[in-house]
Amino acid sequence: MREEFYKRRSNELRVAKVFWIAFLGGVPFYFFLLYYLKSINATATLNPEILSTFAILLGFVGALDLVFAFYYPRIIQKFRKDLPPWHSVYIIRLALVEAIAIYGLLIGFMGANWEFAIPFFIASGGGIFLLYPSEEKLGISKSL
């Protein structure tokens, strides 16, 4: 019984690390996709005023995503007494942070310069690094 418990706990942490690696790998993928699109001039060009307004709007939404990703477990506990399985909570948190890199890809694709897009990739990668899985962060029980 004890061995089975420790084996299950180890497997859960391993699964979380696979999710983490997959989401972290998405950030450089989006960056290099944007690099490729810019190198072949396949990006759109928008009016600079509209583009800067859109960049500010996506920056604000990205900041909200980042904050919400870190407070999501606390927020959901206020509305539900039984917290959903850690898998769903952790995947939602990672997806919220990865969405920021997608915002950077979108801004760059719409014709913004690199100085507008790169902060989105940095924020996303940094946020995913901060969500590195551990038993404490995932709420995986350490005892029987």
pLDDT in tens, 16-33: 899 999 999 999 999 999
Burial of 75 (C-beta count, 10 Å sphere; 0-12/13-18/19+): exposed
Mean pLDDT along residues 52-62: 92
Confidence of residue 144 (pLDDT cuts 50, 70, 90): very low
Q: What pLDDT, on a 0 to 100 scale, did the predictor assign at position 62?
A: 94
SS3 labels along 23-86:
HHHHHHHHHHHHHHHHHCCCCCCCCHHHHHHHHHHHHHHHHHHHHHHHHHHHHHHHHCCCCCCH
Q: Report whether pLDDT(143) > 60.
A: no
Mean pLDDT along residues 25-45: 90
Report d(CA 90, CA 106) in Å as an integer. 25
Mean pLDDT along residues 75-80: 76
Helices (H) and strands (E) in the chain, counts: 5, 0
**Sequence-distant (≥ 6) Cβ neighbours of residue 89 within 8 angstroms:** 72, 73, 76, 83
Q: What pLDDT, on a 0 to 100 scale, did the predictor assign at position 127?
A: 95
- DSSP state for residue 131 in the 8-state scheme: T
Q: What pLDDT, on a 0 to 100 scale, did the predictor assign at position 9?
A: 63
111: left (phi over 0), alpha (psi -120 to 50) or beta: left
Q: What pLDDT, on a 0 to 100 scale, did the predictor assign at position 6?
A: 53
Confidence of residue 52 (pLDDT cuts 50, 70, 90): confident
- The torsion angles phi and psi of 63, rounded to 5 degrees, stand at -65, -40
Q: What pLDDT, on a 0 to 100 scale, did the predictor assign at position 141?
A: 57
Domain ranges of the chain: 2-138
